[in-house]
Amino acid sequence: MTSDVAVHVVDDDVAVRKSLAFLLASEGLPVRLHESASAFLDEVLSAEGGCIVTDVRMPGIDGIELIRRLKERGITLPIIVITGHADVPMAVEAMKEGAIDFLEKPFGDEVFLTTVREALSRHEKSSHQDAQVAQIKARFEALSERERQVLNGLVAGKANKVIAYDLGISPRTVEIYRANVMAKMQARSLSELVRLALLIDAS
């Protein structure tokens, strides 16, 4: 499969698949249909763009097990679960496993489309953030050991003199290392440098 953004509809009910496909296509949203969770897992090779809409109750691999298997593969597409009234507890469990929302049948077209658009927007923001963190990590990897030590001191809120004392170097040398760290990390201020360092720690 290509890496194009798409709404993946996973449902064993052909009528549901077709109706949701028509609705999504009418809004200009690209859609791919999968008759079962196993068929979907066979086709999806990596964390492609878009989102997943899946019935929670399906023969074979159900929606909850699908979410678990996707997590195992490192596929983090936003997942919307469709459920009947009797299956709401399953939908709640699916959300605990990582689904972002669930829709209880019968649901209106606009409710469905709004939920899908929010899922697509969430994935786009997440993908952008992931790329940003990867770039920041690459900058961090380019720092020397001493520059990292100075960075750690700055993030801890230490003054240049304190960092100099801790490392056994002069305050002037700390200033030079600090300037190098700011340049390599592409930080325009100390506050931005700290934010970048915290992003790395949180990822």
Q: Judge whether 113 and 176 are in contact, CB under 8 Å.
A: no
Q: Where are the domains of the chain?
A: 6-128, 142-202
Sign of the torsion formed by the C-alpha atoms of 23, 28, 33 and 38: negative
Strands 101-104, 79-83: parallel, antiparallel or unpaired by DSSP?
Answer: parallel
DSSP state of 32: E
DSSP state of 35: S
- Cα 114 to Cα 56: distance, rounded to the nearest angstrom: 20
CATH 3.40.50.150 fits 142-202, yes or no: no
**pLDDT confidence of residue 4:** 63
- 6-128 and 142-202: identical CATH topology: no
**pLDDT confidence of residue 156:** 85
**pLDDT confidence of residue 96:** 86
pTM of the model: 0.65
From residue 56, alpha-carbon distances to 20, 34, 41, 90, 185 in Å are: 16, 14, 15, 7, 45
DSSP state of 8: E
CATH 3.40.50.2300 fits 6-128, yes or no: yes
**pLDDT confidence of residue 3:** 46
**Please, where are the H alpha helices in the chain?**
14-26, 37-43, 63-72, 88-97, 109-141, 145-155, 160-167, 171-185, 190-202
- Residue 79's identity, in one-letter code, is I
**pLDDT confidence of residue 132:** 82
- Cα 44 to Cα 37: distance, rounded to the nearest angstrom: 10
pLDDT tens, the chain, 203 aa long: 334 688 999 999 999 999 999 999 999 999 999 999 999 998 876 556 789 999 999 999 999 999 999 988 888 889 999 988 777 788 888 888 888 888 888 899 999 999 999 998 887 777 777 778 888 999 999 999 999 999 999 888 888 999 999 999 999 999 999 999 999 999 988 878 888 888 787 66
**pLDDT confidence of residue 45:** 62
